[in-house]
Structure 1
Amino acid sequence: MSLLPSGDTQGHPSVSAAPAEPCAGAPSHTARRWSLDPLLMMLAAMAVAIAMTWAIPSGLYQRASDKENAPVVAGSYHPLPKPISAAALIPHDGPKGVAHPVSPLALVTAIPQGLLKTAPIMIMVLMLGGMFGMLRTSGALDAGIRRLLAISGGRPVVLVPLLMLALSAGSTFLGMVTEYLLLIPVIVTLGRDMGRSTMFGFALVTLAAKVGYLASVTNPFALLIAQPIAGVPVFSGLWLRLSIWVLFLGIAMVVVLRTGRGAATPAPLDAARLAPRHLGILLVAGVTLGTMIYGSVALGWKEMELASVLIAAGAIMAAIARMAPARAVEVFVEGMHRMVLAAVLVGLGRSVDLILREGQILDTIIEAVTLHIQGMSPFAVAPILMGVEMLLTLLIPSTSAKAALSIPILVPIAATCGVSAQTTVLAFLLGNGLVNMFAPTSGMLLAYLATARISYSGWFRYLLPLFALFTALSVSALLLAVATGY
């Protein structure tokens, strides 16, 4: 059986992904039976995290500083006493130097804490929904898609490689992921007009972004933290990461091209030129995306600055579309409403991380792994390191937090086994990227799914064969790295 998925394997009828439109058609009985509600998934992940704090001993490494996500000091691990009693069922602050299991009440209390920690990201996601609502209601989006289809002749074999190359390049060279929330409804709508399923458009954006982040050719968010901690020059070792990116992206393109054929009736090609106001609104959307990229990469803008850009863009679009002020506000708020679930999922993802940190068990997991890999063959250690990072990615979605915790510990241990620091960084990138393709604890992935209105179970089934293939190729890349002294 081929490892490459063919067709839309969601298991339910395709629906429109446009935030301003209701889902078309009711899901089948099979879809309702197997669908996993993303909010319930996050609550389940929180419950599992709480249980882990009761089952796993607590311990700590010393940190290089008091800053959040500061690198740990290798060899400094020490266990912490963790008395188990009925008192642990009630949230409390224990004495310094003593750990405690997380109270089951954290299933409630950790939710507002996670939302508070991620409030800037949530605000940006809501403003993104408002701006997209303006873009769609103005009619500019539909007009632009029809024009793009006419230019390309409606041929996916032309559009898919160009779009995926552009999106994945932004991810692998600049670390762009969050910004693509803006594009998911656009590409999903484009796919529907090409006669493809909802999964086609979603996979086009998501696989391009995830493959780019997996390879991280020059991704500053991963390499500016991991490589200095490992003691290798920033952006060094580029040749192997570039090769992995080209190979994986080519495979992903083939998978997307085979997805969702005949799921809808293609829209008729319209060779008419864009109306001036539609062209102006689309130019505003393009300038907005470029401004967000430049501000994030060159000016160090964070979520609040990016949210301000989205608000301004929405106002300019309303002016070009000649919307009455009351109507413009109504459209913007409706767009925000469509993104509430995506925003909340981002916050719940952080709640899981807060629970694990409070229970102080992450350092214990790293210490247990390092004790078991000492003295092993480098050809066995390199894939094991990737497996460790895959496990940590399920527990810690944050790339920077994982790097600060794991790299200082794993690099010296791996070196004693003959695995170079550069290969350890590669194992970190591959493990992080592979699991982030489907991690149920990744609030951003669940936000992607909520934006496109695709179930997690549908995405998981679609992705599983490709994930297995990418994992096997990643292990091969690590063995090549060890063999060549990378």
Structure 2
Amino acid sequence: MVQTSQPAVSTDQPATGWFPTAYTILFALVVIMAILTWLVPAGEYQRVQSDILGKDVPVPGTYQTVEAAPQSITHVLMAPIAGFYDPVSYEANAIDVSLFVLVVGGFLGVVTATGAIDIGVSQAMRKLKGREKWMIPIMMTLFAAGGTTYGMAEETLAFYVLLIPIMIAAGYDALTGVAVIMLGAGVGVIGSTINPFSTAIASDAAGIPFTQGMWLRVAILGLCWLAATLFVMRYAERVRRDPSASRVADMKEANEAFFLQPAKRPDTEKLTPLHIVILILFAATFAVMVWGVSTQGWWMAEMSALFLGSAILIGTLAWLGEKQFTTAFVAGARDLLGVALVIGLARGIVIIMDQGRITDTFLHGFEGWIGGMSDIAFVNALFAIEALMSFLVPSTSGLAVLSMPIMAPLSDFAGVSRDLAVTAFQTAIGITNLIAPTYAVVVGGLAIGRVPYNRWLLFIWPLLLILSFICMALLSLAVML
């Protein structure tokens, strides 16, 4: 968030010791994948067009080795560029997400320049005094609802700069705000019910109706939401009581300066009628975004246009003037430029794997590993395989199309119903996508929240074990029933 009276604050995180930044981690993964294209045999499945999915899907039993395509240093340097726009592999494109992030940054810069957010947050915190902790389960319920119904993911990036200042003002930390959004939407995806990008596509690829296995997914959703909510509330309360217990305690002053603004407004300053109108429009913009994505088929272009239009409307109502409006918009976009860059870099990893023709080789290796297993061993091995594959293919729909046509027929031989194979897929990828450095939502959310990746891992690893245990236990129980 920015003040137009001073230079925009950079989103670069303060030095955090020996652990490298997200940029270094992601570029190292690009290099590692390029090296693997020299070592791992290249191979491909034959593919046929699926009229239902509108995509080519692999045919089980058709894997064959092909001519190797080792990736050179030139490919490594081109991968981040191709990650933004690759006309061959649209699944890997990040330009639409990156532009959306920049427009959201500009929108937030304009709204912040009106002063409505600063005063609104200050007054909201005074009214919530003593009841701040209930924001956590309420917000996590809303994000989980978005995750389970329409796969809320990239669109969560718009909420971080909105929610994190509220959490910090309530006495928590930036990591709490990140966790509420990322874990809230994440557990919704883990327990997807009608999510078209996970449950529906995977079920279609497996040849079953997406309603099959619904009650198991509802149980997974409820238990995972409860575990995640209690986990976040416990951490947040510990931070409120003792700020030194925060995983980002050494960044407290820097984060407060960035999210709450260096120039504090007096607590006695009141919301004017104009401020109230601006805040209503501000909230309505997010509500319209959710409506458009969930019911109208909107994606990044439409959402970007929405935030641009709202920025212009709010800037006009506040009578900022042409120069102040453009300064605020550009400064806000500049604050999130690092986020946009890291998203493209993450997608570059997929580019290298696809160009090097090793993605199908990994899938074929997993196919051979789980053949002949017992039913309980199979469903848990499938869970583990999908979790590993989602590191390499962070697109939920992309991995569904890639893996389900292979894994669903294998489940028949293991005596496992195909709906359990779909549930194993969606729960595994949902858990992995809470930490995968190849996933734009993770690296983007952490960058906006100024939470170093290693701090996030230290925070979330106990919860990952709990969520994995819940999913694997329920999958095993379902096999036995």
Q: TM-score range by the shorter chain?
A: 0.7 to 0.9
Taking the aligned partners of 1:269 and 1:42, their CA distance within structure 2 comes to 42
For the residue of structure 2 that corresponds to 1:416, the secondary structure is: helix
Give the aligned partner of residue 78 of structure 1.
64
In 2, the alpha carbon distance for the partners of 1:215 and 1:315 equals 38
Residue 478 in 1 paired to residue 454 in 2? no
Q: Match for 1:312 among 309, 314, 317?
A: 309
In structure 2, what is the Cα distance between the partners aligned to 1:24 and 1:44?
A: 21
Task: Give TM-score, length-normalised by structure 2.
Answer: 0.87
Aligned to 2:78: 109
Deviation at residue 69 of structure 1 after TM alignment: 5.0
Per-residue deviation, 1:271: 9.6
Superposed, which structure 2 residues align to 1:321-332 within 5 Å? 321-332=318-329
Asked if 1:401 corresponds to 2:370, the answer is: no
Give per-residue Cα distances to partners, 1:364-407, cap 9 Å, x unaligned: 11112222222211110111101111111110110111011100
| Structure 2 counterpart of 1:119 | 95
CA distance in 2, matches of 1:411, 1:234: 14
Contact 1:69 1:405 in 2 (8 A): no
Match of 1:8 in 2: none
Q: 2:174 aligns with which of 195, 198, 218?
A: 198
Rounded to whole Å, the distance in 2 between the matches of 1:335 and 1:26 is: 17
SS in 1 for 2:47: coil
Of 108, 114, 121, the residue aligned with 1:138 is 114
Q: Distance in 1 between matches of 2:13 and 2:351?
A: 37
**1:70 partner SS:** strand
* Equivalent AA in structure 2 for residue 397 of structure 1: P
- Are the structure 2 counterparts of residues 19 and 57 from structure 1 closer, same or farther at C-alpha, using a change threshold of 3 Å? farther
Aligned residue type for 1:242: V
Give the drift of 1:239: 1.4
SS state at 1:64 partner: strand
Query: Aligned AA for 1:215?
Result: G
Read off the aligned partner of 2:218 and give its amino acid letter: L
1:129 Cα deviation from its structure 2 partner = 0.6
1:225-374 equivalent positions in 2, closer than 5 A? 225-259=201-235, 260-261=239-240, 262-263=242-243, 274-374=271-371
1:41 maps to 2:25: yes
> How far apart are residue 273 of structure 1 and its match?
6.7
Q: Which amino acid aligns with 1:457?
A: N
Structure 1 position 157, deviation (Å)? 2.9
Deviation at residue 292 of structure 1 after TM alignment: 1.7
Question: Which range moved further: 58-67 or 225-234?
Answer: 58-67
Query: Which amino acid is the alignment partner of residue 148 of structure 1?
Result: A
Q: Distance in 2 between matches of 1:136 and 1:69?
A: 43
Please state how far the C-alpha of 1:154 moved relative to its aligned partner. Answer: 4.2
Return the match for 2:159 from 183, 189, 211. Answer: 183
Q: Which residue of 1 aligns with 2:43?
A: 59
Gaps of 5+ in 2: 86-92, 244-251
Structure 2 CA distance for partners of 1:206 and 1:424, relative to 1, 3 Å: same
Q: Distance in 2 between matches of 1:194 and 1:44?
A: 38
Give the drift of 1:435. 0.8
Amino acid of the structure 2 residue aligned with 1:62 = Q
Distance 2:436 2:364 in 1: 23
Pick from 94, 100, 108 the counterpart of residue 69 of structure 2. 100
What is the alpha-carbon distance in structure 1 between the residues aligned to residue 440 and residue 154 of structure 2?
11
Q: 1:346 to 1:68 in 2, by over 3 A?
A: farther
Contact 1:345–1:444 (CA<8 Å) still a contact in 2?
Answer: no
Q: Secondary structure at the match of 1:323?
A: coil
- Per-residue CA deviations over 1:299-346 (Å, capped at 9, x if unaligned) read 222211211111111111112222111100000000100111111111
Root-mean-square deviation (CA, aligned residues, Å) is 2.4
Letter in 1 for 2:166: L
Residue 296 of structure 1, CA deviation: 2.0
**CA 1:255–1:19: 2 relative to 1, 3 Å:** farther
Taking a change above 3 Å as real, the CA distance of residues 68 and 33 of structure 1, as seen in their structure-2 partners, is farther
Other-structure match for 1:215: 191
Separation of aligned partners in 2, 1:25 and 1:451: 9
After superposing the two structures, state which structure 1 stretch, 284-293 or 127-136, moved more.
Answer: 284-293
Question: Partners in 2 of 1:447 and 1:133 — Cα distance?
Answer: 18
The aligned counterpart of 1:94 is: none
How far apart in 2 are the matches of 1:271 and 1:253?
A: 34
Q: CA deviation at 1:19?
A: 5.9
Q: 5+ unaligned residues in a row in structure 1: which ranges? A: 1-17, 81-97
Q: Which moved more, 1:179-188 or 1:140-149?
A: 140-149
8 Å CA contact 2:80–2:346 kept in 1: the answer is no
For the residue of structure 2 that corresponds to 1:242, the secondary structure is helix
Instruction: Please give the alpha-carbon distance, in whole angstroms, between the structure 1 residues aligned to 2:45 and 2:21.
Output: 37
Structure 1 letter corresponding to 2:22: P
TM-score normalised according to structure 1 size: 0.87
For the 8 Å contact 1:383–1:478, the answer to whether it is kept is yes
Structure-2 change in CA distance of 1:146 and 1:235 (3 Å): farther
Q: Per-residue CA shift, 1:411-460, capped at 9, x if unaligned?
A: 11111011110000011011101111000111221111111111001111
Amino acid aligned to 2:194: T
Residues in 1 aligned to 2:477 and 2:2: alpha-carbon distance in whole angstroms: 45
CA spacing shift, 1:55–1:343, aligned 2, 3 Å: same
